């Protein structure tokens, strides 16, 4: 989240100039299902997934795009 906060002013400036910008977040398939043997990992990936979804919704009308990569 700190990286997003730090980069947002720069991305907003670029987007205002008509340039596309991308935030790319790495999540996991375990963000959608609980894994009893690694609950902290699953919870942190679920939080990452929720953050990226909210950020994408906030930036939907801008040239700042949010991409989530979910390796298995």
What are the pLDDT tens digits along the chain (72 aa)? 899 999 999 999 999 999 999 999 998 887 777 778 888 888 888 899 999 999 999 999 999 999 999 887
Residue 18 pLDDT: 97
Can you spell out the DSSP letters for the chain? -HHHHHHHHHHHHHHHTT--EEEEEE--GGGSS--TT-HHHHHHHHHHHHHHHHHHHHTTTSSEEEEEE---
pTM, full prediction: 0.85
**Confidence at residue 4, expressed as pLDDT on a 0 to 100 scale:** 94
Predicted local distance difference test score (pLDDT) of residue 58: 97
């Amino acid at each position: 989240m700190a990286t997003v906060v730090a980069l947002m002013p720069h991305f907003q400036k670029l987007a205002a100039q008509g340039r596309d910008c991308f935030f790319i977040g790495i999540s996991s398939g375990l963000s959608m299902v609980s894994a009893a043997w690694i609950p902290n990992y699953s919870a942190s990936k679920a939080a990452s997934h929720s953050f990226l979804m909210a950020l994408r919704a906030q930036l939907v009308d801008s040239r700042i795009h949010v991409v989530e990569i979910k390796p298995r």
